[in-house]
Amino acid sequence: MSPYFTDLAQQYIDGEWRPGTGSWDIIDFNPYDGEKLASITIATVDEVDQAYRAASRAQKEWAATNAYARRAVFEKALRIIEDREQEIAEAIIAELGGTHLKAGFELHLAKEFLRESINLVLRPEGRIIPSPVEGKENRLYRVPVGVVGVISPFNFPFLLSMKSVAPALALGNGVVLKPHQNTPIVGGSLVAKIFEEAGLPGGLLNVVITDIAEIGDAFLEHPLAKVISFTGSDKVGRHVGTVCASHFKRSVLELGGNSALVVLDDADIDYAVDAAVFSRFVHQGQVCMAANRVLVDRSIAEEFTRKFVAKVGSLKTGDPNDPETVIGPVINSSQADAITSAVDQAIAEGATALVHGTTRDTLVEPSVLTDLPADAAILRQEVFGPVALLVPFDGEEEAVRIVNDTPYGLSGAVHTADVERGVNFAKQIDTGMFHVNDGTVHDEPQVAFGGEKSSGVGRLNGDATVESFTTQKWISVQHGRSRFPF
């Protein structure tokens, strides 16, 4: 077992590693074999308060630190990850059941986001704005918001914690991170350990491992938290956004999806099959951008379906430690039961199972469903597991209607021999991101990432991250004397 699960099974508050003082423990399990990885006594409301206060105290000096000196911390953090890549990959495999492929994918993106954070340190710029008042100089400064609260999910915990934590710190903020209970080490204390070793001042980044059963909304409501960055389900995200709004604080909500990959009649079928299989089954389908629905023009549906089913049938389900495994375990048995129930309900409603995988504890084999009734519940919900829905359509107009017939609007893709045809198709989809001749699962540090409708509010990455984690401050200078009317 990785030493991370023994050495880092603690809270990290005000630069100190210490146990929580709650009355019960979070037990961290390996989702594949059920091995107990760690036992962590939860943080209380008082410890959440201590974490926010520590971040606020440390932030003021950090924001005043020369940007080039701050940048050195992120450069060292990147080197630490590069040096320990194999160890971190093993922890990802153990704690969340990620395959070798998935662990490599997550680490690659995490490093890319750290590289972007190195640049973000120097990104904020002020402006001088003309004034109609004689002798008036208007200075518009971009300044840190103060303290950012980050809540990360279980599916890509290392990446999605780093994606908010690193930029928030780079832009001069303090941070309090609450990782998901199923991934407290990879998504929480490991991130803190890396930054501690990289020389980040104590107190600036805090990690509280806890549960809402213990702290309620204290993490969201704390008066020192100026922005909450949440990644997770739309149900929880709706609550996060409501609480934040009631306390006049900003929230950045990266929520679920029900993305579609669309194959038009002139597409390269073999390439589209490869893109669709990856987009649906990467990390067992536990990806917000995953292609839940695969829409295929009816004129090519027979060939596409045959090849798609054959490729899905070749995917190996099993031990994520096996380099040949493509489908590892889902995060827990409750998730496995929910996926199985969704498939069973769809079949009861009239769907045909071209592939009907079995479920063994947390191992859920792939399923491929077609002939779905137009009103089937599964067509409009996010299935966080290895289930693909094949939907034929007649012409682009019908395809657009079907793609948009969902409460979500996160990602999507279209395949066609005519790039501009694909771009015109993408423009008609109510979604935050859409890709032509590629998969649905993409995240690049410099390009705005986020969704529409129930898929979230706000954007991250690049300039969007600067907008999310900083605010603008107007300072005017009157040269000479103003004239007042009385």
Active-site residues, by number, are: 254, 288
Q: Count the neighbouring beta carbons within 10 Å of the beta carbon of residue 216.
A: 12
Output DSSP code: residue 350: T
Contacts of residue 384, defined as CB under 8 A and 6 or more positions apart, other chains included, come to 155, 256, 285, 286, 330, 335, 338, 339
Closest CA to 231 of 195, 208, 255: 255
Where are the strands (E) in 397-461, listed by range? Answer: 408-409, 412-415, 435-436, 452-453, 456-457
Cα–Cα separations (whole angstroms), residue 321 to 90, 250, 355: 8, 40, 25
DSSP H or E segment with residue 353: strand 352-355
Output DSSP code: residue 299: G
Query: Could you give the CA distance from residue 103 to residue 122 in angstroms, rounded to a whole number?
Result: 30
- Under 8 Å between Cβ of 470 and 143: yes
Class of residue 381 by CB neighbours under 10 A (exposed 0-12, middle 13-18, buried 19+): middle
Closest CA to 187 of 85, 105, 88: 88
Contacts of residue 200, defined as CB under 8 A and 6 or more positions apart, other chains included, come to 73, 77, 169
Q: Supply 428's token pair.
A: 């008609």
Q: Supply 56's token pair.
A: 């606020």
259-263 and 352-355 beta bridge pairing: unpaired
